[in-house]
Structure 1
Amino acid sequence: MGRSKLKRFAENLERENILQDDKPNFDKLKGNWNKAHFKNDLPLIVELGCGKGEYSVGLAERFPQNNFIGVDVKGDRLWVGSTEAIEKGIDTVAFLRAQIQQIDTFFDEDEVSEFWITFPDPRPKKRDIKRRLTSPRFLEMYKKLLKPEGIVNFKTDNTALFEYTLETLQERKDIKDLKFTFDLYNSDLQEYTFGIKTTFEKKYLEKGVEIKYMQFKFA
């Protein structure tokens, strides 16, 4: 492991806006985010697979009336988002270092107001279908954790994953208010993504890849 990573991991231990398994409140977060961490009653918006946290920080800048939590397992990536939030003086964004398949151990039923799924691993192999973040297994988890009328946003460059997600949603009877586009930046749905672009997204846009986006709720 490189020195820079080790340095970041050490700094993560001292940062209040990074929650991980060696922190005192780590096992007390479920159902208590506002009380145990944010010390306010604002709605919770969660970004899954947040990477360097561009969306979590970008949303927190634009919407100070909400709390934002970026979830990723890579501590060195979370350090980047954490640093940006600290430098900008934003205290309504936090970063959770955890496996996404375990988020139901960190959030309670009806605790989350909105999910953002931003450029997840497409998991193209058939044996990995259950690991896709828009598979039925994960959708059931989101439905359980979301408040009534809670929103799911999904953004990807991967056409196959996007088509799989659409098919999965259309097979269900509990999906409503579905909006989607295969070409976000030539669509009126841009207003729902607030002009925020991840580093990954910018690279694909430069290559001419169309960005796909959808938003939906559970009935």
Structure 2
Amino acid sequence: MSRKKLVRFKANEENPNVIQAGKPIFEEIQGNWKERQFNNENPLVVELACGRGEFTVGLARVFPSQNFIGVDIKGSRIWKGSSTATAEGLENVAFLRTQIQQLDKFFAVGEIDELWITFPDPFPRDGDEKRRLTSPRFLDMYKPLIKEGGVVHFKTDNTGLFEYTLELLKSREDIKLIGFTHDFYQSEWKDDHFGIKTRYEKIFTEKGEKIKYLKFQFI
């Protein structure tokens, strides 16, 4: 392991805005985010596959009266968002280091107010469908964790993943599709991300890729 990664992992261990294995709170956080981590009753907004945390931190800047949690397994990536939030004094940001398939071990029923799924790995092979973050397996896991009326947002540059997700959502009776677009920045939904672009989104758009977006609720 490189010295840079060792330094970052050490910082994660010491930073209270990183929730990861080895810290007592890691085993106790389910159902207790507002009390144990944020010490307030503000809404919880969760971003899956948050990477460097650019979107999580960006939302926290825009909405100081909400709490934001980025979830990713890569400690070196989480370190970036964690360090930025600390440097800016953003106390409404936290990062959970875990596999997303373990999400239901860290959030109680109805604990999440809003969910963002931003540019996840598309896993294009048919045999990898269950690994897609919008597959039935994951949707069924998210459903009880999101409070009634909570909105799920999905953004991707991958047309195949977007079409797969759109067809799946339309086929489910327990989902209300609020809206969707194949060209986010030319749509009525373009302000839904509040002008926040991640590094990878900037790369995609500069290459001429159209960003796809949809939002829905469980009913």
Interval of TM-score (by shorter of Structure 1 and Structure 2):
over 0.9
What's the TM-score, normalizing by structure 1?
A: 0.98
CA distance in 1, matches of 2:89, 2:124: 39
The residue number in structure 2 matching 1:216 is 216
The residue number in structure 2 matching 1:153 is 153
Deviation of residue 178 (structure 1)? Answer: 2.1
CA RMSD of aligned residues (A): 0.7
Letter paired with 2:21? D
CA distance in 1, matches of 2:65, 2:174: 29
The residue number in structure 2 matching 1:52 is 52
After the TM superposition, which residues 22-101 of structure 1 pair with which residues of structure 2 at under 5 Å, given as runs?
A: 22-101=22-101
Structure 1 segments, 4+ long, off by >3 Å, are none
What SS is found at the alignment partner of 1:83?
A: helix
Structure 1 unmatched ranges of 5 or more: none
What SS is found at the alignment partner of 2:65?
A: coil
CA distance in 2, matches of 1:172, 1:145: 18
| Identical-residue share of aligned pairs (%) | 57
What SS is found at the alignment partner of 1:107?
A: coil
CA distance in 1, matches of 2:141, 2:60: 24
After the TM superposition, which residues 137-216 of structure 1 pair with which residues of structure 2 at under 5 Å, given as runs?
A: 137-216=137-216
Structure 2 unmatched ranges of 5 or more: none
The number of equivalent residue pairs is: 219
What's the TM-score, normalizing by structure 2?
A: 0.98
Deviation of residue 177 (structure 1)? Answer: 4.3
Letter paired with 1:56? T
Letter paired with 1:215? K
C-alpha contact 2:169 2:177 (8 A) present in aligned 1: no
C-alpha contact 2:170 2:177 (8 A) present in aligned 1: no
Letter paired with 2:135? S
